[in-house]
Amino acid sequence: MSATKKLFVKTYGCQMNMYDSDRMIDLLKPLGYKLSDVPDDADMIILNTCHIREKAEHKLYSDIGRLEPYKDAKAAKGEYMILAIAGCVAQAEGEEITRRKPCVDMVFGPQSYHKLPEMIAQAYRSLAANGKPAVLDVDFPVESKFDLLPMPSPDNHKGAAFLSIQEGCDKFCTFCVVPYTRGTEYSRPIDAIIKEAKHLVTLGVKEITLLGQNVTAFHGIGPDGKEWSMGRLLFAIAEIDGIERIRYTTSHPKDMHDELYAAHRDIPHLMPYFHLPIQAGSDAILKAMNRKHTADDYRRIVDKLRDIQPNIGMSSDFIVGFPGETDQDFEDTLQLVRDIGYVQAYSFKYSIRPGTPAALIEYQVNEDIKDSRLQILQELLREQQLAFNISRVGKPMTVLLEKEGRHPGQLIGRSPYLQSVHLDAPHRLLGQIVTVDIEGATQFSLAGKMVTQEHIHHT
């Protein structure tokens, strides 16, 4: 093996997976792996999978099929490529992946990333012994992986970074596999979170997004030996010098609490954008989903947030065609969307997840009905998103510049509401927060002109 090895990583799904992929990359750097943009000649490929989206397993097996010729081509030259499947599909499918795809060398779940160097060594030992490595690690270990992962490296941050603070979920929504693939709720200790946040600041990070499958249920142990809520943690993060923007996701309506409302009222660093999934606007469907709240509970939360922070923009997740959903149930969802008014939202057709309680419900909605309802819901959500974006035209917005645009001299950044903003700006401002006068809007993005350099605000 050469001293420098090529690593290709494909990340599916959620922001938690993006954070995990970055940590795996950091973990493999000391072993001589350098990130590659293409899989063709990689020495190791990691597919970090997500089980939430529809047809997740099908997409994985299709990708494995596309990658297999690259592995064969390396083998023909007497070289070796490790093909590793990580993440939630790996956790759920386990041995089935290695049975269906013998070309896969390693399968490991989200709780095993810290053991990557050990697993790679095991794969090569097995290769030397019998010509076929096979590493399978989908256990839920006693130790926390966070204690054993390296600190983030300087690469690819461009002013913004994810920081995982909580993992797993105890809610057991009937459609969801997270409790089975990520395990029960675990919250990191406060000291470890603050240490990582301060480290990110030294890398030039100005915006931190705190991540968790059920982040508002955070209950990490503080330096005082007591459990801290998500709200209290936000106040502590806001005190770190150099952090100018704070976000967090994903939240659950059942876990809203007074300290969290106070954080939205009192912390200027906390962005006025809140992603709060509801999934459906019908109480009957919410009960069948085991969401543990009603549609009016959700409305009251939004009203309270808007009372304390009038500029807040709401985002959500919706599932249409959940088993048993009637025309009236769907109309209740549409009415909730009209009542709330969303900055943006994600919507999907219900798809069966084997092993979840919803998969056993007898009345499954017809696919044509699901398609029709999804189109109606998405059209309403598109109208709301476009209307909100148009309402920003003529107003100044602070924008964190994150990457180059398609045109020379163009940069793309994110507004406080996570809108993509296109503007002309010098490359040296990447990673900086600038003020932009918004001049145009589409459904998915804004365009504007940067305020003159001497008037740039870094707040």
* Nearest Cα residue to 116 out of 27, 19, 42, 1: 27
| Dist CA 157 CA 132 (whole Å) | 37
d(CA 373, CA 394): 35
Amino acid at 41: D
Q: Is 173 annotated as a binding residue?
A: yes
Q: Are 19 and 167 in contact (CB under 8 A)?
A: no
Supply 157's token pair.
């941050």
Instruction: Confirm or deny that 88 is annotated as ligand binding.
Output: yes
Is residue 191 classed as helix, strand or coil in its secondary structure? helix
> What CA–CA distance (Å, rounded) separates 16 from 22?
10
Q: Is the dihedral of CA 244, 255, 306, 332 positive or negative?
A: positive
Residue 257: which of 277, 228, 236, 278 has the closest Cα? 228
**399 CB neighbour count, 10 Å cutoff:** 28
Residue 14, annotated as binding a ligand: yes
Q: Of 356, 234, 343, which is closest to residue 289 (Cα–Cα)? A: 356
- C-alpha 80: how far from its chain's center? 32
Helix (H, G, I), strand (E, B) or coil at 446: strand
Cα–Cα dist 166/233, whole Å:
12
Torsion of CA 212, 217, 220, 225, to 10 degrees: 180
Burial class from Cβ neighbours inside 10 Å (0-12, 13-18, 19+) for residue 140 reads middle
85 touches 104 (CB < 8 A): yes
DSSP class of 293: S
Beta 420-424 vs 410-414: how paired, if at all? antiparallel
Please state the three-class secondary structure of 410-438 as a single string: EEEEECCCCCEEEEECCHHHCCCEEEEEE
**Rounded-to-integer distance, Cα 53 and Cα 65, Å:** 20
Question: Residue 447: beta bridge partners?
Answer: 422, 440
Q: Which element (helix H / strand E) includes 125?
A: helix 116-130
DSSP E strands in 66-120: the ranges are 82-86, 106-108
Q: Which residues are annotated as a binding site?
A: 14, 50, 88, 169, 173, 176
Q: Which residues are annotated as a binding site for [4Fe-4S] cluster?
A: 14, 50, 88, 169, 173, 176
